[in-house]
Amino acid sequence: MDRIVLLDNETINKIAAGEVVERPASIVKELIENSIDALSSTINIELKNGGKNYISVSDNGRGISNEDIDLVFARHATSKILKAEDIYSLDTMGFRGEAMSSISAISDIELFTNSITDKSGSYLHVKGGIEIERKEIGFPIGTTVIVRNLFFNAPARLKFLKSDTTEQGYIVDLIEKIALINNSISFKLTIDDKIIFHTPGNGDLLSAIYCLYGKNKSKSMIPISYENHIIKINGYIGKPELTKGNGTEIVFAVNKRLIKNKMLVEAARQAYKSLIMVNRYPICIFNIDLSPEKFDVNVHPSKAEIKFDDDKAMFNTVYTAIKSCLNYQSSFQNFEPEDAKISIDAVKQEHQINEVQIPFDLNTVSSLNVHEKDIKSNDNYHVNHEMNNRKIEYPHTYETPASNYSEAGLPDLKVIGQIFNTYILAQSVSDFYMIDQHAAHERIMFEYLLDKYKNQNIHIQELLLPIIIDLTPKDFNKYIDNISVFNNLGFHIESFGENTIRISSVPIIMGEPCSGSVFNDILDTLAEAKNSIEANKEKLIISLACKNAVKAGDILNIEECTELLLKLKQTNTPYTCPHGRPTVLKMTQLELEKKFKRVL
């Protein structure tokens, strides 16, 4: 058996750094939190190569005094607490005294700082935990930290980082959320010498939302304010029509600390239940003021996860606050915050935000203006029955290899009718069938789209009036990173100003042209992709199929039901939807007669 030995300091520091610094975004978070604790009013962040090779965070805060320079990169050195009990009365972001030590252990880091108590500033250069240079310098009040060559001495960690654009996306998402919560601080983010955004820092959350999420979203936000004897909630929530395909824009903070908490996300979703579609997420941005004794932030070195002393009470409070706000807003459908226009105009004037003037209503879906003759001219499509102000379309020909028509496939079925506007009843010679219309149509569309995507044979509709979409900086970067995906799907998209795109052509899916919402749904799916897009291709196609398939509750006539079953029979896997749920339930005549006790 090997003997127990004491690890050397270099190994100890590298192991400890692995808990604090998972990726470039971890460094950005720690440095920004230090700037916030220094009472900064402006914080500038610069990145290169997704933060792997260069990160700079500058602030105009209190700075670090000359006499404290020796302890900046020392482990467990902090100005935030003096004893363990102080953790339960924190009013700062940091407190563990591990961040700077951890960052310096696995990077090449430079510190420039000056405090109001000193006559001159200080410069300190540390590489791999070893001091390289120290000197006095002239420097304005505040601090700048530059981090280069992350994980240069830990190549095993470096190879597990994602692509530059993916790592950059994590950072942009993080800074957006921190800027929303700390809206009294002006944040400027520059990536590869290009300014991505610059928030006003005027203390108005709606101004920050406008700057980061765009005009349309900011106009669809509702102020939320709730207070009881324990908790205070302030911020904005989106109107029910403003939803996302994932929960990335549910932003919660406790005492201005950005947190991750699945319970609170679920509370928000439950409050919107029955107001938004299944598998859609609301937009919520608010801060919770709570006594430090009521929660514990010392759960993980990242300080992003917290534990509440009463989870049930927190869930109920957040649910009640959002639900009450939505109920009040429903009584005033045209409600808009009185200060919304003032706030938005103020931020535009202060930062000279140029707004692109579009001579038509961007929210009008009818701007697609697809002519029926354009669809009819395509031999692969026909226009079917109008239903609920929408069309169900099927290709005239859907070629399937002869080997797919096996005895295990779906037999010829005669449609009896539809029940609950959700299930199709049908029968064969000796069996009785119930078919889930959404799951069945989803299977049809999935195999159709997968074939079209693979062969790059998706039909395209050129729009008479282009669709203009404002994106967040994070979503714009995600779009740029996946331009080829949208091209393969049949979209023709151009940049149209800062973080804005112009869609001039859209794919035709089963005879229907896509709307701008389909683009957003695809983008949400891409945002959730953890591997390469090629590895997530099926997930993307499934998402498209699901969102374009007929829904439970849609009324179908006999002809439409018959057409749906005919196309389901021609698929490779007719008995399950792409998610794995059954599409068909079968009962033989004998089983049915046993149910009625006609036979024993």
**Of all helices (H) and strands (E), which one includes residue 519?**
helix 516-528
CATH of the domain at 318: 3.30.230.10
User: Are 259 and 293 in a shared domain?
Assistant: yes
CA distances from 370 to 385, 465, 508, 582 (A): 16, 10, 10, 35
User: Are 527 and 578 in a shared domain?
Assistant: yes
End-to-end CA distance of the chain: 70
Provide the domain limits for residue 521.
365-587
User: Residue 52 and residue 324: Cα distance in Å, rounded?
Assistant: 45
Last residue of a domain, one of 198, 218, 238: 198
For residue 163, being part of any structural domain is answered with yes
User: Residue 414 and residue 432: Cα distance in Å, rounded?
Assistant: 10
Last residue of a domain, one of 351, 379, 402: 351
User: Residue 447 and residue 468: Cα distance in Å, rounded?
Assistant: 30
CATH of the domain at 482: 3.30.1540.20
User: Are 191 and 213 in a shared domain?
Assistant: no
For residue 596, being part of any structural domain is answered with no
User: Are 244 and 383 in a shared domain?
Assistant: no
User: Residue 279 and residue 261: Cα distance in Å, rounded?
Assistant: 18
For residue 600, being part of any structural domain is answered with no
User: Are 111 and 50 in a shared domain?
Assistant: yes
User: Residue 427 and residue 406: Cα distance in Å, rounded?
Assistant: 19
Q: How many domains does the chain have?
A: 3
CB of 89 closer than 8 Å to CB of 255: no
For residue 357, being part of any structural domain is answered with no
pLDDT of residue 519: 84
CB of 78 closer than 8 Å to CB of 97: yes
User: Are 193 and 216 in a shared domain?
Assistant: no
CB of 317 closer than 8 Å to CB of 270: no
User: Residue 211 and residue 183: Cα distance in Å, rounded?
Assistant: 11
CA dihedral sign, ordered 592, 595, 599, 600: positive
User: Are 51 and 157 in a shared domain?
Assistant: yes
For residue 3, being part of any structural domain is answered with no
Q: What is the DSSP letter of 449?
A: H
pLDDT of residue 159: 85
User: Residue 116 and residue 61: Cα distance in Å, rounded?
Assistant: 10
For residue 99, being part of any structural domain is answered with yes
Rg (CA), the chain: 29
Last residue of a domain, one of 178, 198, 218: 198
Only one residue has tokens 């939320």, namely: 224
pLDDT of residue 547: 77
User: Residue 143 and residue 140: Cα distance in Å, rounded?
Assistant: 8
Tokens of 560: 């439409």
pLDDT of residue 576: 86
User: Residue 104 and residue 118: Cα distance in Å, rounded?
Assistant: 25
Q: Burial letters for 324-350: b for 16+ Cβ neighbours within 10 Å, e otherwise?
A: ebbeebeeeeeeeeeebeebbebbbee
User: Are 172 and 215 in a shared domain?
Assistant: no
Tokens of 140: 């304005």
135 Cα distance to chain centroid:
44
User: Are 80 and 145 in a shared domain?
Assistant: yes
For residue 59, being part of any structural domain is answered with yes
Task: Find residue 290's DSSP bridge partners.
Answer: 231
Tokens of 202: 């005027």
What average pLDDT values come out for the chain (600 residues) when binned by 10 residues?
62 58 90 93 95 95 89 65 48 61 90 92 93 94 95 85 89 95 96 93 95 90 91 94 88 90 90 83 93 72 70 90 84 43 39 32 30 34 34 38 46 92 92 94 89 81 88 85 83 86 84 75 74 63 82 92 93 86 89 84
Tokens of 209: 């939302």
For residue 111, being part of any structural domain is answered with yes
User: Are 581 and 519 in a shared domain?
Assistant: yes
User: Residue 438 and residue 427: Cα distance in Å, rounded?
Assistant: 19
Q: How many CB atoms lie within 10 A of CB 429?
A: 9
User: Are 380 and 323 in a shared domain?
Assistant: no
User: Are 68 and 176 in a shared domain?
Assistant: yes
CATH of the domain at 17: 3.30.565.10
pLDDT of residue 79: 55
